[in-house]
Structure 1
Amino acid sequence: MIEAQTAPGLILASKSASRRAMLDAAGVKYDAMPADIDERAIEDNLRGATPGEIAEALSVAKAAALASLHPSAIVLGGDSLVVAGGQRFDKPVSRDDAARHLGFFSGKVIELHSAAALVRGDGCLWSHADCARLHVRDLSPEFIEHYLDHEWPEISHTVGCFRIEAMGVQLFERIEGDQFTVLGMPLIPVLGALRDEGVLIA
């Protein structure tokens, strides 16, 4: 099992259950604290940027928000965003909104962009973005209602309206890309960066 060293400490700037589960399973020791940033304001300053660049910038911003408060720690920020049919989708704001998202995704390809960044003090040490392509099968209205009966409100915290580790796997007929990226964080590159920075034993 991977063991974290006592210094520098690691803070996960996220309340994401899936990101915490990935780090826990990998044996990484950390503290978790949600970052308070204005994501829309940051995105407004990134007009013309690719989805991957936006996810990466938001990851850096989340990590930087906590790094300024904990200068001796390394802070890991993460972000995921979804594009389908040329449109950007955020987390659903209601069950009806989730149903609309799922109806739109039916028969299309979801591009899921997941990014991560490490920040210490006022400097970004490392950042990375990855993309997975999820081919959504044709979803009947009956299935969407059945699905939401089981998965709402848990999926209200997810972009794409799914938890791949739960019933969300039934949405897809094919997935291209890394499983950790689908879960919301490019874990293998993150672990490599943590080793490089002395957080994990190399």
Structure 2
Amino acid sequence: MSSEHPSLVLASGSATRRALLEAAGLAIDVSPADVDEAAIRDSMRASDAHVSHESVADALAAEKARAVSEKKPTALIIGADQVLSFEGRLFEKPASIEEARAQLIELRGKTHALHSAVALARGGNIEWRHIETAKLKLRAFSDAALDAYLLRAGEAVTTSVGAYQIEGPAIQLFESIDGDHTTILGLPVLPLLAELRRREVIIA
């Protein structure tokens, strides 16, 4: 990236998202967005009880990017967010290991969706946005297998909306996964890279 191009800033404190971008060869700064995610979700659902879960992920990613771009107007801001959708409900990060247990029991033997959105903003304006969906099915694991997973993963289960990181021991809980790996990790990297090439921010 030459000096004439805007700096890239990730509007997230997620170590996973930062690692994905750095592994792709992007030089980025990090500036976590200070937005009230719960308020945004609640407002959208209050306005439309049937709002799509994809729209919620998209709005959260866009708002994160927009908020940081107002503070760093010359930079190109990357916002990202992910929601878990299951049987018409939105799941949030479990607040405790016990909540994670209850959530995984509810998802056991069934398929859920992860909607991951990414947006680019500059100067307070959203210039591009994209969303990808992955579908994952948990196997009908035993209570003993669940207990073993939770013991091994510990408090890390409270750091992701699904109460799992598929790159770790949680992979043993799954029967099938349909979707791009980076989408599952919360940042669709391939469409983002394509857009950055289109903008000539990175080499085409």
| Fold match (TM-score > 0.5) | yes
Give deviations 1:96-139, integer Å, cap 9, x for gaps.
Answer: 01111111110111100000000001211100111100011012
Report 1:41-60 matches (<5 A). 41-47=39-45, 48-60=50-62
Judge conservation of contact 2:72–2:123 (CA < 8 Å) in 1: yes
Partner of 2:174: 172
Please point out which of 19, 22, 25 is paired with 1:27. 25
SS at match of 2:32: coil
Please point out which of 93, 96, 101 is paired with 2:95. 93
Report 1:36-185 matches (<5 A). 36-47=34-45, 48-185=50-187
Pair 1:5 & 2:7 matched:
no
Judge conservation of contact 2:67–2:124 (CA < 8 Å) in 1: no
In structure 1, distance between residues paired with 2:202 and 2:134: 27
Judge conservation of contact 2:97–2:157 (CA < 8 Å) in 1: no
In structure 2, distance between residues paired with 1:141 and 1:86: 25
Corresponding letter in the other structure for 1:5: S
Partner of 1:15: 13
Judge conservation of contact 1:59–1:78 (CA < 8 Å) in 2: yes
In structure 2, distance between residues paired with 1:5 and 1:19: 23
Corresponding letter in the other structure for 2:19: A
How big is the alpha-carbon RMSD for the aligned residues of Structure 1 and Structure 2? Answer: 1.2
Deviation at 1:153? 1.2
Deviation at 1:5? 3.1
Corresponding letter in the other structure for 2:63: A
Deviation at 1:193? 1.4
Deviation at 1:42? 1.3
Judge conservation of contact 2:136–2:177 (CA < 8 Å) in 1: yes
Alignment gaps of 5+ in structure 1: none
Give deviations 1:22-72, integer Å, cap 9, x for gaps.
Answer: 111110010012111011221223223211111011000001111000000
Deviation at 1:189? 0.3
Residue identity over aligned pairs, in percent, reads 41
Deviation at 1:84? 1.7
In structure 2, distance between residues paired with 1:33 and 1:150: 31
In structure 2, distance between residues paired with 1:12 and 1:141: 39
Corresponding letter in the other structure for 1:162: Y
User: Post-superposition, which runs of at least 4 consecutive aligned residues in structure 1 deviate over 2 A?
Assistant: 4-7, 196-199
Equivalenced residue count is 199
TM-score (norm 2): 0.93
Judge conservation of contact 2:119–2:126 (CA < 8 Å) in 1: yes
